[in-house]
Amino acid sequence: MNRYALTFPVRPESEAAVAEILADYAGPPPGRPQAARPLLDRTSVFMAGPVVVRVVDIVCPPEVAIRHLAAQPQIQAVEQRLRPHLVQDRDLSDADGRRRFLAGSVMRVVASRNGHAGHLPRAAAFYRALPGKAGEVARLLADEGSDSGCGTTVFRRRDVVVHLVESSDGMPAVPLADRLAPLVDVACPMSLVTDRVVGAVA
């Protein structure tokens, strides 16, 4: 199983409309209907202000998953509803558009540890690091989760760091808030917009 995070900004004051759009649509088919394992296992959407982060668990490269999703009518409808709210317009209907979207939105996985089996509840925290400090923020968060029994993944793209935790006990609103305060100008819990497992919606 491969885990990716995709992030993109929306226009200020569009947050409520975007959250409604992303929460209010039927989940796409998992792909590979005749295969032992589907392409898609789980997808979760979080928001922190105008920043959207979608975490996906897939068994294929992200370009394959995006191509599958872009072919689904319900995803095409969602994309049309989103377009007026996006800071950067995108077109997932062609290969060049999908490549540009992935190049501009994929977050790097700094650390990923699974301390459990199954699909536990997810929570996430968002950090915007000060210039030159994102690497240190990501390392501190990765070290924080190394001894826990929960699943934890740290993503980074430029100065943005996202800390995802999967646990039945939840997570602190902003992990390591005191230690990270000198390194960030924004640190906040993210709102969970939707969390979908193949065959079920949570």
Q: For 66-84, write each residue's pLDDT tens digit.
A: 998 888 888 899 999 999 9
pLDDT of residue 202: 34
Residues of the chain with pLDDT under 70: 27-38, 115-118, 145-149, 172, 199-202
As given in the structure block, the two tokens for residue 95 are 């290969």
d(CA 105, CA 138) in angstroms, rounded, equals 18
Q: What is the pTM of this model?
A: 0.90
Sheet with 160-166: list strands edge to edge. Answer: 184-189, 122-129, 160-166, 151-157, 106-113, 2-9, 51-58, 40-48, 191-197, 200-201
Q: What is the crossing angle of helices 73-82 and 62-70, to 10°? A: 90
